[in-house]
Amino acid sequence: MRWLLPLLIPLAVLADEAPKAATPPDPDEAAYAAIERFVKVLEQVRQRHPDADKVAYDRLVNHALEGMLSSLDPFSSFIHPEMARAMEADPKLDPYLPALGLTLGLRDDGVYISNVAPVSPASRAGLLPGSGILGINGRKPEELPVLLTSLRNQAPGTKTSFTVKAETAPKPITADLTHVAVEERAVTEARLLADNSTGYIRLASFMGNCAREMEAALDELEDKGMKRLILDLRGNPGGDLHQTVQILGFFLPPDTAVVTTKGRGGEVLGEPLKTPEKQRRKREYPINVLIDRMSASASELTAGTLQDLKRAVIVGETSYGKGSVQNIIPMGGGTALRLTIATYHTPSGNTPHKKGITPDVKVNFTDGDREKLELAFRKASLTAEEAKKLEGWEDPGMKAAEGK
């Protein structure tokens, strides 16, 4: 189903099949008691709540499922049939807003946040999946297509005010989100530094044809005399796992095991993913990899693998900590589950999940440094006022990486 695809983009890495994991060791009778309790509550709500238009079985159960999925982890969610119908009515409608890191959903009580990308303005503002959207820039979000078009056409640096109500919060909150630049290319910068022997490549994501872009950038810099590489993965939210493995193959021997998937209880699921069997060029020069607290998912697997295999020095901050695997599981009736089913592990058996990758060389970043780094990453589109903020600023991450 086409409408499911945008929901996958923020989280980067998916499994093909859900693992056949053992169920929790609850006694058999626990299920009956729990289900009985659920049915009792359901019937009390249907009989006694004054808003009769809100107590249809379908609506109550779907919202109960939404709450159940959101209670598991930040990346699991229930996909409502209302969003499915909206997507079917307008196949071009894309509910994912990469400049904000939000995926919007539509349910019978209006527009809501179905997912929040782990590295995004929305996550930094503390917005939570499942929250209802009460207003945007003071206006009510009545029509989803118009709303998406408006939000998608905002320039980088523009602020949009969201009034939202989380299910567990006592009252609504208002959050101002700043739209960030959305890179069309994965490799956004590739150049030789002043010494003419150190190459710098910024890889903004692992989406699209990033492996092909990366290889072309490496070839060009090597032909110019590059003898060492600084690979900048700061702010990189991840992307496609197979592209990630191809990129690791540029720096590691052919047929090297780099990523293992483990399910409940540490059960290994399938064979480890390995680098390609053939390597066009040998790249044995030193590598420093820059990461920060917003490097997530595939970025963490790349940094962690190169660190485990002593192929690179990791410089910067402890990364985000997203090493889980999500599957989309159709459930009938236009609904689906987006469910975390496993974790990814680097060659040492380490997983970045919930703890991130710890750098070999730690760099202290101030909030001011973070603001200026975001500006530096989009320096070609800065306003005069923004460009002035960068005057005289030295990137502490680059300074540390160049010194190693």
Average pLDDT over residues 81-104: 70
What is the per-residue pLDDT for 190? 97
335-345 and 257-262 strand pairing: antiparallel
Contact present, 148 and 95 (Cβ < 8 Å): yes
Indicate if the pLDDT at residue 401 is higher than 90: yes
For residue 24, how many C-alpha atoms fall within 13 Å in the half-sphere facing its CB?
A: 3
Average model confidence (pLDDT) for the chain? Answer: 85
**Residue 256, helix vs strand vs coil:** coil
Find the range with the poorest average confidence among 202-216, 228-242, 369-383.
Answer: 369-383
d(CA 153, CA 84): 23
Find the range with the poorest average confidence among 70-79, 192-201, 338-347.
Answer: 70-79
User: Whose CA is closest to 294, among 232, 225, 208, 216?
Assistant: 232
pLDDT tens digits for range 179-215: 987 777 899 999 999 999 999 999 999 988 999 999 9
For residue 262, how many C-alpha atoms fall within 13 Å in the half-sphere facing its CB?
A: 16
Indicate if the pLDDT at residue 335 is higher than 90: no
Contact present, 357 and 307 (Cβ < 8 Å): yes
Angstrom CA distances, 217 to 183, 231, 234, stand at 16, 11, 18
Indicate if the pLDDT at residue 404 is higher than 80: no
Average pLDDT over residues 132-147: 77
Residue 378 — very low, low, confident or very high, per pLDDT cuts 50/70/90? confident
Domain 2-178 is found in CATH 2.30.42.10: yes
Angstrom CA distances, 58 to 42, 43, 61, 65, 128, stand at 11, 13, 5, 11, 24
Find the range with the poorest average confidence among 62-76, 196-210, 280-294, 358-372.
Answer: 62-76
What is the per-residue pLDDT for 94? 61
Burial 318-353 (b: 16+ CB within 10 A, else e): bbbbbbbbbbbeeeeebbbbbbbbbbbbbbeebbbb
Could you please state the CATH topology (level 3) that the domain comprising 187-326+335-402 is classified under: 2-enoyl-CoA Hydratase; Chain A, domain 1 (3.90.226)
Q: Which amino acid is at 261?
A: T
What is the per-residue pLDDT for 2? 25
> Domain locations in the chain?
2-178, 187-326+335-402
Instruction: Considering only residues 270 and 82, tell me which one the structure prediction assigns the higher pLDDT.
Output: 270
pLDDT tens digits for range 4-18: 222 233 333 333 344
Same topology, domains 2-178 and 187-326+335-402? Answer is no
Instruction: Quickly tell me which residue has 């499911």 as its tokens.
Output: 4
Residue 145 — very low, low, confident or very high, per pLDDT cuts 50/70/90? low
Instruction: Considering only residues 24 and 359, tell me which one the structure prediction assigns the higher pLDDT.
Output: 359
Please give the full DSSP string across 120-176, using - where no structure is assigned: SHHHHTT--TT-EEEEETTB----HHHHHHHHHTPPTT-EEEEEEE-TT-SS-EEEE
Instruction: Quickly tell me which residue has 């919007």 as its tokens.
Output: 104
Indicate if the pLDDT at residue 25 is higher than 90: no
d(CA 111, CA 127): 14
What is the per-residue pLDDT for 12? 35
User: Whose CA is closest to 14, among 93, 65, 61, 76?
Assistant: 76
